[in-house]
Amino acid sequence: MRSTLRQLTGLSMATLMLSLLPSAAHAEIVIDRTRVIYPAQAREVTVNLTNEATSPRLVQVWIDQGDAQIRPEDSDVPFTVNPPIRRMEAGKGLALRLLFNPLEGKSLPTDRESVFWLNVLAIRPKPQANEASNALQFAFRTRIKVFLRPDTLRVPVKEAPDNLKWRRAEGTIAQVEVNNPSPYHVTLSSVAMTANGTEHSTEDPPMLAPFTTLNVRLSGTPGPDHGKAQLNFTTIDDNGNTQSHNASL
């Protein structure tokens, strides 16, 4: 992976800086999913791209370990992406092949998922010679999570959200503590607690790593504890769909 991306150094440095400016919401290269589940024993996983712009785009693709600022040629991960760079005509598609190298990833844990990020950078054509010399050339980057899933995990992934352990956290701010006892990452898309007739929710639901505990800060201030509170939360499943859950605190 590293040796392949070093060949793109000159292009990568310029385009990566541009990619930090625009929002991914304006992406013109569309990915066919919002997350990638990569079974560790799989030979490869295919991800499909579509150019929905009205003109060609130069597309650069790489995987990192979570540092959005790292240059593609400096990203040292046990994955290879083919092709790493390609011109896409308007309206056309491209199949990316993601390949995991078990030898390079031998230090990764086998009792839980590991998470990486797939980057898709789309670069617009250079301005024509007759256009203004100070025209700004934009690049748009989209990042989605790649979950490397060992084949040794025996707990069904669908059970992970309902196995979360919740409790009201004490303090001067409204918050709940959540423990993820499963080997899977659980992505929360909303959390709301109703206590004493008042709802407290969060604007920044986290992703819970395997075997970790987090405090989730909620809106408002904690009221007196007069009994059980009701918790409603939603999670994102492997297909990118939202699933609803509830628990008593």
Pick from 146, 184, 150: nearest CA to 62: 146
State mean pLDDT over 31-45. 97
Segment holding 246, helix H or strand E: strand 242-248
Segment holding 46, helix H or strand E: strand 45-51
Q: Supply the pLDDT for residue 26.
A: 56
For domain 157-248, the question of CATH label 2.60.40.10 is answered with yes
Q: Residue 142: CA atoms inside 13 Å, Cβ hemisphere, count?
A: 19
pLDDT above 70 as % of the chain: 84
Q: Where in the chain is the domain with CATH 2.60.40.10?
A: 2-149, 157-248
Provide CATH code, domain 2-149: 2.60.40.10
Pick from 65, 45, 68: nearest CA to 142: 68
Label residue 185 by pLDDT band (50, 70, 90).
Answer: very high
Give the dihedral sign, CA 216/221/222/228. negative
Label residue 126 by pLDDT band (50, 70, 90).
Answer: confident
